[in-house]
């Protein structure tokens, strides 16, 4: 299979369309057509919802960003299996919080399937009609997460539909799987076909002709052929023959499938009109408009998406998985991931782009601008010196004035427009990382400008920056900044500060080609003195399970099962680090520090173990002891635990209040993951207090 020459850009357009649709539809979720008509009239643009807030996470976009990780471990040509998808879900989703609608076992399809998987019921039995019944298995989730399979299998609807069927089967069955197949095939076919009727015909060929799903699609297609200009009549026909009253459950897939087809047909190939009509129909608006937005985004490309839809999003996507650094994403980063995985699947070479780049036309990558004694009046993607950049236009930058251009690396949940999907965050950048930026200053700029990279520590309200260097008009500049070790910091911004040391710069601009950072060796400490309660846990830390809170000046964790909490970056470890924690075991027999955490199912751990021992564990799904030794520890006493990762060698050391200590060294000859976050754990009914945590470069 050969990828289209404009593949990357069309993937970006498709995922952008998905995000636009979800945001456009979200305020009207569960409204009826009559509610919208009578209270709002014709809705043609985003509704004002918590103005000034960041758009909340939504399952329609959060879950696909977890599901797509099922492809990461596949070899070229290796088929996707339900177990791959189940592993991705168990690794990326918190137990009972985040990502899914946790409406109850037997009520929410995804909640039910997750609990089945967690209890050891294998996929695809986990989502089957035989296990859960038809009503639950045929709810809407089978199709709303399936756009991604079309994005990674362009112009191959059969392959896209096959992957969607595998993924959907983990949580759904029957018509739920048909919906996944149909949506994925539509997205895949849209890379070479733009006509809605032809797209629908192609997708129909990839689901059973005798299915109820095929019946509703065909009914809407036939009605449109006879009534091509009256979408309201089409919706009345859909409601009368395939309405919510005819199907069980809370949000059945069939009525909403009809809305997707209606929106595509009556949109007549116009992106805006298609999502507007879909939204006006009501029912599960964010899901339906998101699907239509993805299909139409691929079909029409970026040129077919009006800029008014893009500007409010600013390329930002908030997600709600258990890995906090993957909950602050940009749409270009999502597109880069999809394109990279698609190329791996067909054994084609791919390019690793910078974390923030501006290759996609119109992309802004969630950058912002602010200034003192200046007016940063506009930001847009542009071409400077032949390269795509983010161009920041300036008016009247006074002497000693400055402009800051930055992207956010952490959000407080209170900044979101809503958070019922329970997003919690880990900073994207930490002390010890080294940031780098490519910046261009046009020839007509003054020679009195300087620039320096900086980070902002929100816990202390302080900017930390490198020494400024002069900028040469008409030249590219490579700026770097090694962030120093810090204690109790929370880095919420990274960017560049441009200052004017001369006379007023009346008008001009500069361009940023890229921003990235090396994980290097993290170098920071926390005493939890500056942290605060956030989203069921505390700031900067996510959790998979358990009750994690601030109590008496310490970070406490307790609860049943494998209670774990995480912070840090997924790239940590290749450069070696030591994580150290001061902990007091209060109840239970297992209290640990974690390293190389790749999600809820993959990590290494060291700490206090049952039977008066210390132990090293490797967890792939369930933890297994790989080394242990006697150590007489006691509840209520404080211990210092350290775990060092150095290539394939792991060293754990415990030191007690009385100075007693013991070390374990173990080499993983079958290492499967050599990098990841840090974490803390108290397992199987435990309760521990954590007084401090630090991460430092490993010493040889």
pLDDT tens, 496-543? 999 999 999 999 999 999 999 986 678 999 999 999 999 999 999 999
* Bond prior to 124 in cis (omega within 30° of 0): yes
- Per-residue confidence (pLDDT) for residue 332, from 0 to 100: 98
> Going by C-beta distance under 8 Å and a sequence separation of 6 or more, which residues neighbour residue 583?
591, 593, 607, 638, 639, 641, 680, 688, 689, 690, 691
- Per-residue confidence (pLDDT) for residue 574, from 0 to 100: 66
Instruction: Tell me how far apart the alpha carbons of residues 34 and 225 are, in angstroms, rounded to a whole number.
Output: 25
3-class DSSP state of 244: helix
- Per-residue confidence (pLDDT) for residue 5, from 0 to 100: 95
Q: Answer left, alpha or beta for residue 624, where phi above 0 means left and psi between -120 and 50 means alpha.
A: beta
404: β partners: 370, 497
Handedness of CA 564, 566, 571, 575 (dihedral sign): negative
Pairing of strands 602-609, 591-599: antiparallel
Instruction: Tell me how far apart the alpha carbons of residues 102 and 208 are, in angstroms, rounded to a whole number.
Output: 31
Instruction: Tell me how far apart the alpha carbons of residues 361 and 363 are, in angstroms, rounded to a whole number.
Output: 6
Proportion of the chain in helix, strand, coil states, percent, rounded to 5:
30, 30, 35
Pair of tokens at residue 643: 């775990």
Instruction: Tell me how far apart the alpha carbons of residues 542 and 535 are, in angstroms, rounded to a whole number.
Output: 9
Pair of tokens at residue 475: 């030249």
Instruction: Tell me how far apart the alpha carbons of residues 174 and 257 are, in angstroms, rounded to a whole number.
Output: 14
Pair of tokens at residue 42: 């014709």
3-class DSSP state of 330: strand
The answer to whether the beta carbons of residues 316 and 54 sit under 8 Å apart is yes
pLDDT under 70 in the chain at which residues? 1, 373-374, 519-520, 574-575, 700
The answer to whether the beta carbons of residues 218 and 226 sit under 8 Å apart is no
3-class DSSP state of 612: coil
- Per-residue confidence (pLDDT) for residue 1, from 0 to 100: 67
Tens-digit pLDDT profile for residues 621-667: 999 999 999 999 999 999 999 999 988 899 999 999 999 999 999 99
The answer to whether the beta carbons of residues 653 and 663 sit under 8 Å apart is yes
The answer to whether the beta carbons of residues 128 and 173 sit under 8 Å apart is yes
Pairing of strands 486-487, 524-526: parallel
Q: Answer left, alpha or beta for residue 611, where phi above 0 means left and psi between -120 and 50 means alpha.
A: left
């Amino acid at each position: 299979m050969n990828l289209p020459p404009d593949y990357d850009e069309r993937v970006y357009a498709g995922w952008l369309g998905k995000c636009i649709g979800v945001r456009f539809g979200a305020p009207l979720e569960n409204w009826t057509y009559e509610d919208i008509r009578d209270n709002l009239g014709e809705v043609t643009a985003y509704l004002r919802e918590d103005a000034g807030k960041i758009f909340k996470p939504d399952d329609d976009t959060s879950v696909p960003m977890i599901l797509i990780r099922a492809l990461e471990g596949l070899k070229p040509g290796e088929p996707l299996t339900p177990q791959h998808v189940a592993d991705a879900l168990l690794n990326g989703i918190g137990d009972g919080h985040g990502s899914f609608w946790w409406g109850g076992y037997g009520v929410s399809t995804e909640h039910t399937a997750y609990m089945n998987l967690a209890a050891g019921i294998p996929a695809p039995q986990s989502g089957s009609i035989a296990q859960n019944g038809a009503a639950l298995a045929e709810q809407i989730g089978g199709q709303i997460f399936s756009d991604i399979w079309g994005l990674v299998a362009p112009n191959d609807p059969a392959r896209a539909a096959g992957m969607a069927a595998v993924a959907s089967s983990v949580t759904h069955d029957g018509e739920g799987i048909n919906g996944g197949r149909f949506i994925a095939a539509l997205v895949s076919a849209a890379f070479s076909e733009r006509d809605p009727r032809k797209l629908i015909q192609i997708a129909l060929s990839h689901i059973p002709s005798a299915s109820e799903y095929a019946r509703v699609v065909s009914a809407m297609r036939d009605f449109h052929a006879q009534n091509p200009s009256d979408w309201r009549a089409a919706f009345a026909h859909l409601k009368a023959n395939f309405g919510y009253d005819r199907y069980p459950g809370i949000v059945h897939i069939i009525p909403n499938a009809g809305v997707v087809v209606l929106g595509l047909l009556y949109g007549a190939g116009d992106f805006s009109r298609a999502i507007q009509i879909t939204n006006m129909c009501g029912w599960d608006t964010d899901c339906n408009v998101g699907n239509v937005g993805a299909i139409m985004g691929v079909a029409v490309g970026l040129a077919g998406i009006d800029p008014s839809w893009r500007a409010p999003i600013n390329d930002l996507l908030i997600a709600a998985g258990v890995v906090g650094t993957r909950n602050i994403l940009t749409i270009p980063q999502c597109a880069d991931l999809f394109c990279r995985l698609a190329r791996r699947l067909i054994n084609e070479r791919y390019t690793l782009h910078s974390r923030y780049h501006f290759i996609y036309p119109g992309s802004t990558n969630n950058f912002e601008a602010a200034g003192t004694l200046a007016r940063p009046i506009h930001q847009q993607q542009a071409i400077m010196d032949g390269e795509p950049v983010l161009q920041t236009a300036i008016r009247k930058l006074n002497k000693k004035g400055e402009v800051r251009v930055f992207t956010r690396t952490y959000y407080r949940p209170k900044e979101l427009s809503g958070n019922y999907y329970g997003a919690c965050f880990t900073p994207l950048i930490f002390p010890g990382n080294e940031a780098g930026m490519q910046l261009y200053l046009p020839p007509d700029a003054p020679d009195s400008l300087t620039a320096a990279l900086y980070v902002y520590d929100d816990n202390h309200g302080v900017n930390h920056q490198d020494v400024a260097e002069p900028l040469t008009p008409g030249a590219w500049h490579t700026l770097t900044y090694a962030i120093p070790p810090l204690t109790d910091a929370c880095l919420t911004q990274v960017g560049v500060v441009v200052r004017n040391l001369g006379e007023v710069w009346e008008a001009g601009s500069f361009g940023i080609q890229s921003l990235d950072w090396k994980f290097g060796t993290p170098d920071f400490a926390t005493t939890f003195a500056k942290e605060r309660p956030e989203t069921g846990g505390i700031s900067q830390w996510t959790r998979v399970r358990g009750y994690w809170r601030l109590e008496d000046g310490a970070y406490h964790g307790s609860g049943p099962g494998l209670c774990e909490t995480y912070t840090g970056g997924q790239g940590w470890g290749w450069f070696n680090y030591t994580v150290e924690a001061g902990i007091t075991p209060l109840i239970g027999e297992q209290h640990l520090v974690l390293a190389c955490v790749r999600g809820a199912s993959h990590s290494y751990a060291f700490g206090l173990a049952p039977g008066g021992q210390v132990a090293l564990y490797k967890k792939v799904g369930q933890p297994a002891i790989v080394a242990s030794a006697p150590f007489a520890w006691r509840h209520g006493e404080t211990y210092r635990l350290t775990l060092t990762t150095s290539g394939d060698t792991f060293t754990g050391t415990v030191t007690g209040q009385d100075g007693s200590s013991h070390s374990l060294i173990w080499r993983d000859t079958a290492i499967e993951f050599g990098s990841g976050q840090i974490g803390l754990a108290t397992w199987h009914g435990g309760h521990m207090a954590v007084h401090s945590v630090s991460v430092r470069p490993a010493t040889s």
